[in-house]
Amino acid sequence: MKAWGCIFFIAMILAGCGSAPTSNSDSDSKKSPEQENPAPPEITGFVMEQKKDQILVVSPLDSNSDSTANAMWVSGAPKDRWVGKQVEVWVKNGVRESFPSQAEAEEVTILEMSHVEGADLEASEALSKALMEITGDKLLAVKMISYVEEEDVWEIQLTRIDSRNEDLETIVADR
């Protein structure tokens, strides 16, 4: 047991010997939002619905996990077509607790998804089309978005995250 304590102590000393950050000679340069606000985003997820300047952001679900999705209505989003896009959201003035929670956007950043070789649509476009096909007032989370090259389609797996936790699967043609 004493050996682990010594190893921990040596590791702590070595960690303290790391190099100190250097200052940039151009101290007047503007910092990016990530540098100004080092705090992590309040939510990262897919925009599942949009109403004027409000977007519903729902964190994706891991198909191998029993965790529940986080959902948030975010007001004050810049004008854009948001549905289907993956975003990070920083909020101002706190989060109002409800389900989905509610907050005002300080910053909304679109996460670029890599282009899928052979696909005409982007994953965000396929998700947007899938959400337009689904009728009814459902609170949904993304489980999987997959392009099937042999069939030239996108498979979208969603889960209803209200009291039913119903799985939905839809196919979107890649055009």
Domain ranges of the chain: 34-110, 123-173
For every residue of 43-68, DSSP letters joined together read: EEEEEEEEETTEEEEEPPPPTT--PP
Residues 13 and 10: their CA atoms lie apart, in Å, by: 5
Q: Identify the residue whose tokens are 């964190």.
A: 59
> pLDDT of 39-77, one tens digit each?
999 999 999 999 988 999 999 987 666 677 899 999 999
Q: What is the dihedral of CA 164, 126, 135, 47, to 10 degrees?
A: 60
CA distance 84 to 25: 41
Tens digits of per-residue pLDDT, 102-130? 999 999 999 998 899 999 999 999 999 99
For 34-110, CATH gives 2.40.50
